[in-house]
Amino acid sequence: MDENIESVLHEERVFPPPEDFVKKARITPERYKQLKQQADEDYEGFWAERAREEIDWETPFNITLDRSEAPHYHWFSDGRLNVSYNCLDRHLSERGDKTAIIFEGEPGDIQKYTYKELHAAVSQFANALKAQGIGKGDRVVIYMPMVPEAVIAMQACARVGAIHSVVFGGFSAEALKDRVNDAQAKMIITADGGHRGGRIIELKAAVDKAIEHGTPTVERVIVFERTKHGVAMSPERDITWAEAIADQPMECEPEWVDAEHPLFLLYTSGSTGKPKGIQHACGGYLLGAILTNKWVFDLQDEDVFWCTADVGWITGHTYTAYGPLAVGAAQVMYEGAPTVPDGGRFWKVCQDHGVSVFYTAPTAIRALMKLGDEIPKSYDLSKLRLLGSVGEPINPEAWMWYYRVIGQERCPITDTWWQTETGAHMIAPIPGAVPTKPGSCTLPLPGIMADVVDEHGEPIQDANHGGYLVIKEPWPSMLRTVWGNDERYRKTYWDMFDGRYYLSGDSARKDEDGYFWIMGRIDDVLNVSGHRLGTMEIESALVAHERVAEAAVVGRPHDVKGEAIVAYVILKEARPTGAAADEVAKTLRAWVAEEIGPIAKPDEIRFVEGLPKTRSGKIMRRLLRTIAKGETISSDTSTLENEEIIKQLQGKA
């Protein structure tokens, strides 16, 4: 077992659910016990009952779980529904005038949508999509800033049965092109730009560049005018959002689809250079989104929810675009950076809009923690009643700061472990029922059969002993496949344990109370500021540069970002040193930003004349990780050409 599986944390504090919270919680300790028991005794019956309670079906299902094509599991497969109907139409009679979205732009502009208004906007845009030839099964790429129109576009795709693939606005034109081509998208929905960090993100320009570099399937580009700073339009191909919806009616009958119909693709990094299109299905995904917004976030009619993630990530799908709407909640959407105009922006947004349930990432918590307690203390955060964390393990110090300074020791913290692939929370405390421990994501949700096993798939019995985090039964919101690549799906997630268990790619340990502690990835995947990046992906980008011969990328712990990216690079020319090295490093960092996006820029580039490799030619990443951390090398380095290389790798020569 890898060295990173050694457990290092010794956290003993326990925080039981506050009494006041339990009194009003959707899931009380009794209800929690019932749900767990039912899931353990009658797995399929449990899920069937949840799916009947929570979803409005056009055609009810009879088949709960079809295992005949395992590991491609099918859920509720003879049922028919529409996800957009479940997020909007079904609320109109009771909550039509309730606020659905409170949007705040980075410049400070505010816009609100009631459920009625959102329903009208989605229906109208759905009609626009149809008028542009988009229908059931067509792929549509959405490359947008964090504005309500991004959600409207996603919901409109769902309404007409089209499959969206949202590409994070921070990805480059090249990354966009690859994703458009892999999905063979017919349309791109974008904006002229978005406001972020006090600047304009040039989204339309990136779309133009992607298309210029070859996206043969794209027929139409719809451009939402957010920044209105004037962008080039190609008259035959591009139309503005306003033109697209002009004269379109605000009623649109939803396209009823099978529960297994794909709802969306979302590309994520793995251990090869090529991102994979994680494919989710309408019925099961919707159920996961609804249940976790109710169970884990306890969303109730009076709540104002805010998930700070971008819709370009799975978090923004399940906890902005779909889940909160499906449960009829009011939510905040914020366009910009947490530090504009200053480090108080998040807390000001919470104060101004009365946020009661707040969900963010440890990297943001750590960054804001560094600014001190005074900033959050100068805002009224008294409406907050629950705090969430996602994306990477939250270190106990950040957890305690979040608890003490933001939650004022009143709000439970729910640390939610899940993945793009799982669609929804998997291991997380249900706040009114499960005591929390700083740094632990606590216990699997009812119906989620998570465990920690050894390399033979045997459950690890000893407390605090690390192993592979697996899921032992299929669950409704699981991915269905990797788009266009069933083999990669099976190989990545199922082959290690002969199809018996889903392999998460994370290592974990369970403590004496059965609480889960996530220890990190076991594959070549980095977690930088809560964003998943494949080391191979960054290496491929580096070697694509004309001056680079070879590259190896590893992560190194970073106190704010979680992990920092360190690249070891061999150039085709002589190894540069000093100012010359800084100059090439600058060029290569800019290059990676172009190839993938600014989030993938290496924090450090070390130029070397050789890389440590095994006899079979595999890069010895573990050794590189040790070196990047500045630790002493204990493993065998006899295969290395000379001592000089080690010094170069260490950045000492």
Please give the residue ranges that form the binding site for ligand WT7 (CB under 6 A): 268, 314-315, 390-393, 415-420, 441, 504-506, 518, 521, 527, 532
Q: Of 358 and 418, which has the nearer Cβ to ligand WT7? A: 418
Residue 503 and residue 496 in contact, taking contact as beta carbons nearer than 8 Å: yes
Q: Of 367 and 390, which has the nearer Cβ to ligand WT7? A: 390
The token duo for 409 is 């020791």
User: Please, what is the minimum distance in Å from the beta carbon of residue 322 to ligand WT7?
Assistant: 14
Q: Of 324 and 391, which has the nearer Cβ to ligand WT7? A: 391
Q: Hey, which residues does 481 pair with through a beta bridge? A: 279
CA distance 139 to 277: 12
User: Please, what is the minimum distance in Å from the beta carbon of residue 398 to ligand WT7?
Assistant: 12
Q: Of 27 and 424, which has the nearer Cβ to ligand WT7? A: 424
User: Please, what is the minimum distance in Å from the beta carbon of residue 268 to ligand WT7?
Assistant: 5
| Helix, strand, coil in percent for the chain, rounding step 5 | 35, 25, 45
The token duo for 448 is 């989620």
Nearest to 105 by CA among 208, 230, 196: 196
> What interhelical angle do 29-41 and 43-54 show, nearest 10?
130
Nearest to 297 by CA among 15, 25, 32: 25
User: Please, what is the minimum distance in Å from the beta carbon of residue 239 to ligand WT7?
Assistant: 33
User: Please, what is the minimum distance in Å from the beta carbon of residue 407 to ligand WT7?
Assistant: 17
CA distance 198 to 188: 25
Question: Is residue 636 packed enough to be buried (19+ CB in 10 Å), middle (13-18) or exposed (0-12)?
Answer: exposed
Residue 482 and residue 279 in contact, taking contact as beta carbons nearer than 8 Å: yes
> What is the maximal distance between C-alpha atoms in the chain?
75
Q: Of 86 and 315, which has the nearer Cβ to ligand WT7? A: 315
User: Please, what is the minimum distance in Å from the beta carbon of residue 518 to ligand WT7?
Assistant: 4
User: Please, what is the minimum distance in Å from the beta carbon of residue 515 to ligand WT7?
Assistant: 12
Q: Of 161 and 444, which has the nearer Cβ to ligand WT7? A: 444
User: Please, what is the minimum distance in Å from the beta carbon of residue 141 to ligand WT7?
Assistant: 19
Residue 5 and residue 519 in contact, taking contact as beta carbons nearer than 8 Å: yes
CA distance 610 to 626: 17
Question: Is residue 8 packed enough to be buried (19+ CB in 10 Å), middle (13-18) or exposed (0-12)?
Answer: exposed
Q: Of 123 and 318, which has the nearer Cβ to ligand WT7? A: 318
Q: Of 106 and 415, which has the nearer Cβ to ligand WT7? A: 415
